[in-house]
């Protein structure tokens, strides 16, 4: 069998002719006379391709396209347009339509498009399956947030994902606010979803190594370069490159980075020719790059180039009730992970969750809930296992926070317990490692070693 096609058109004769032709060509095909019915069919039919007229009674084809992309961005949608007006079609393609088809429909052309879209879809499905499994997320649905500030950001992120040609996007926000998650989500929701998403942590390497890593090198470029090798820009061809912690790129490399971003070309270390690249650039940082650029620690021209589109993720403490929604989200995840039947959060914990300032943002919340799930007994998550210290000015409404437990809680193995004690000590010491180490009675080096070991 060839695959399943959904035809959305209110012109019954045409829709039937298309259906008959597709059936003859070995496809399964279904007709929906309007967008609402088409949306209703998505779940059960799971089409490989959708052909939709732009003009439909009620919701139009463009809106339908948008909704299908929200449902599953990997389903190719071909927009059919009768109006010779190319604008609608171009807009549709910008919004992520797979292609467009002019009416009156040429059936052979339609079948070719269906074949191409189906192949594309299958490839994409496979890839997106592995990627989703890796990320544990379906695009956008995986980013929890209903507060106005988060909705606004997610809306922008969706638009960025839908457009194929955009300048670079700079994602800023405190640590743990979800910059990495949003970057991956933009990729997952874009037409480039089946192409690579490559993430480089710019803190990790000194400039010379970083240069070879990003741009590649030719054979003999330096002593160890026995073979030539492509860099990450080239490896991301067709997809996205995320420059994570871009504020940490050394000044000496920033000029070359600017050139790559601006001219969309890279030159390998030791190479003599520029190679064209088709890569969308995302950059993330929790530093104030504007300030750094004023202080000449970051090139202004690079800053301006990267910050043409700015996505600012608000700190968790500015997201109101999202804290509770996220807590519930993590509660489900971790109670499933540890097979502990904790179902809800004690209302008294709600107050604490809302009052606590969350310096480590969503990441900290997920760690706190993970730990609380491990320590909890019974179906209601209690305030005690959270052991959060709310600063005095936030805690007027609360009693003293809970004391840390001193013996190993049931259900936690030694490593988990150790890790949780370290996290707690660090939190209590405001991230100061020396004080946390003192508190734990271990040396600072030991603490560092453990932090590394647990990836904290
Ligand atoms: N809105 C959200 N919904 C669900 N999970 C989230 C959300 N925001 C963040 N997370 C989760 O919180 C953790 C931290 O997010 P992420 O790594 O994206 O933050 P970050 O801003 O890149 O942090 P850093 O600046 O430290 O690199 C991840 O596990 C991520 O999946
Ligand atoms: Mg990150």
Per-position pLDDT tens, the chain of length 456: 568 899 999 999 999 999 999 999 989 899 999 999 999 888 778 788 999 999 899 999 999 999 998 888 888 999 998 765 666 777 888 888 988 898 888 999 999 999 988 887 766 655 554 554 455 445 677 899 999 999 999 999 998 998 877 789 999 999 999 999 999 999 988 888 888 899 999 987 788 889 998 999 998 888 777 788 888 999 899 999 999 999 999 999 999 999 999 999 999 999 999 999 999 999 999 999 999 999 989 999 999 999 989 999 999 999 999 999 999 999 998 998 888 888 898 888 888 899 889 999 999 999 999 888 888 888 898 766 666 776 665 444 343 333 333 455 666 666 677 788 888 888 888 888 888 877 776 777 778 877 887 778
Q: Indicate the class that CATH gives domain 4-134.
A: alpha beta
Q: CA 369: distance to chain centroid? A: 22
User: What number does the ligand 1 atom closest to the CA of 177 have?
Assistant: 21
Q: Which ligand is nearest to the CA of 157?
A: 1
| Assigned token pair, 276 | 């064209």
Q: Which ligand is nearest to the CA of 182?
A: 1
The residue whose CB lies within 8 Å of the most ligand 1 atoms, and thus the one to mutate among 153, 178, 285, is 178
Going by alpha carbons, the residue nearest to atom 29 of ligand 1 is: 363
Centroid of ligand 1 to alpha carbon of 419 (angstroms): 19
User: What number does the ligand 1 atom closest to the CA of 313 have?
Assistant: 21
pLDDT at 226: 78
* CA 52/CA 100 separation, integer angstroms: 9
Q: Give the containing element (helix H, strand E) for 112.
A: helix 107-135
* CA 158/CA 335 separation, integer angstroms: 30
The ranges of the chain annotated as CATH 3.40.50.300 are 148-314
Centroid of ligand 2 to alpha carbon of 199 (angstroms): 10
Q: What is the DSSP letter of 222?
A: S
The ranges of the chain annotated as CATH 1.10.8.60 are 317-453
Pocket of ligand 1 (CB under 6 A): 143-145, 173, 175-181, 286, 326, 362-363, 366
Is 437:429 a contact under the CB 8 Å cutoff? no
**CATH code assigned to 317-453:** 1.10.8.60
User: What number does the ligand 1 atom closest to the CA of 184 have?
Assistant: 18
Is 27:16 a contact under the CB 8 Å cutoff? no
Contacts of 272 (CB under 8 A, 6+ apart): none
How many helices (DSSP H) and strands (DSSP E) are in the chain? 18, 16
Largest alpha-carbon pair distance within the chain?
A: 80
148-314 fold: Rossmann fold (3.40.50)
pLDDT at 425: 84
Going by alpha carbons, the residue nearest to atom 12 of ligand 1 is: 363
Centroid of ligand 1 to alpha carbon of 181 (angstroms): 5
Centroid of ligand 1 to alpha carbon of 117 (angstroms): 33
pLDDT at 31: 95
pLDDT at 85: 61
Q: Give the containing element (helix H, strand E) for 280.
A: strand 280-285
Centroid of ligand 2 to alpha carbon of 58 (angstroms): 42
Going by alpha carbons, the residue nearest to atom 5 of ligand 1 is: 143
Centroid of ligand 2 to alpha carbon of 360 (angstroms): 12
């Amino acid at each position: 069998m060839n695959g399943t096609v959904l035809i959305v058109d209110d012109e019954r004769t045409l829709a039937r002719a298309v259906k008959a032709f597709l059936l003859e060509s070995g496809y399964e095909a279904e007709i929906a006379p309007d967008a609402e019915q088409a949306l209703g069919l998505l779940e059960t039919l799971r089409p490989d391709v959708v052909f939709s007229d732009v003009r439909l009674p009620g919701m139009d084809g463009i809106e339908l396209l948008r909704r299908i992309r929200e449902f599953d961005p990997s389903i190719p949608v071909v927009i059919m347009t009768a109006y010779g007006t190319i604008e609608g079609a171009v807009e549709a393609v910008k919004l992520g339509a797979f292609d467009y088809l002019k009416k009156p429909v040429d059936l052979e052309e339609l079948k070719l498009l269906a074949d191409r879209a189906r192949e594309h879809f299958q490839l994409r499905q496979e890839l997106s399956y592995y990627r989703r499994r890796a990320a544990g997320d379906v695009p956008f649905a995986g980013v929890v947030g209903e507060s106005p500030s988060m909705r606004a950001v997610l809306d922008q992120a969706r638009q960025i994902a839908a457009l194929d040609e955009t300048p670079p996007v700079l994602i800023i926000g405190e640590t743990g606010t979800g910059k990495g998650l949003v970057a991956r989500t933009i990729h997952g929701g874009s037409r480039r979803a089946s192409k690579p998403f490559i993430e480089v942590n710019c803190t990790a390497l000194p400039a010379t190594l970083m240069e070879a890593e990003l741009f590649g090198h030719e054979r003999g470029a330096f002593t160890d370069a026995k073979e030539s090798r492509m860099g990450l820009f080239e490896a991301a061809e067709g997809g996205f490159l995320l420059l994570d912690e871009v504020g940490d790129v050394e000044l000496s490399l920033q000029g070359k980075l600017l050139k790559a971003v601006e001219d969309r070309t890279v030159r390998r270390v030791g190479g003599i020719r520029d190679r064209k690249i088709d890569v969308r650039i995302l950059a993330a940082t929790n530093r104030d790059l504007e300030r750094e650029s004023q202080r000449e620690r970051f090139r202004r021209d690079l800053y301006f180039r990267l910050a043409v589109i700015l996505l600012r993720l608000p700190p968790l403490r500015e997201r109101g009730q999202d804290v509770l929604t996220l807590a519930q989200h993590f509660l489900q995840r971790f109670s499933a992970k540890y097979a502990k039947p904790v179902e809800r959060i004690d209302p008294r914990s709600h107050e604490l969750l809302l009052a606590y300032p969350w310096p480590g943002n969503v990441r900290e919340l997920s760690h706190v809930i993970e730990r609380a799930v491990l320590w909890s007994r019974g179906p209601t998550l209690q305030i005690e296992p959270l052991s959060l210290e709310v600063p005095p000015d936030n805690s007027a409404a609360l009693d003293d926070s809970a004391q840390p437990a001193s013996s190993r809680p049931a259900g936690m193995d030694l490593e988990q317990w150790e890790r949780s004690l370290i996290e707690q000590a660090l939190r209590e010491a405001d991230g100061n490692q020396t004080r946390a180490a003192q508190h734990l009675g271990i040396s600072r080096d030991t603490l560092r070693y453990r932090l590394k070991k647990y990836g904290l």
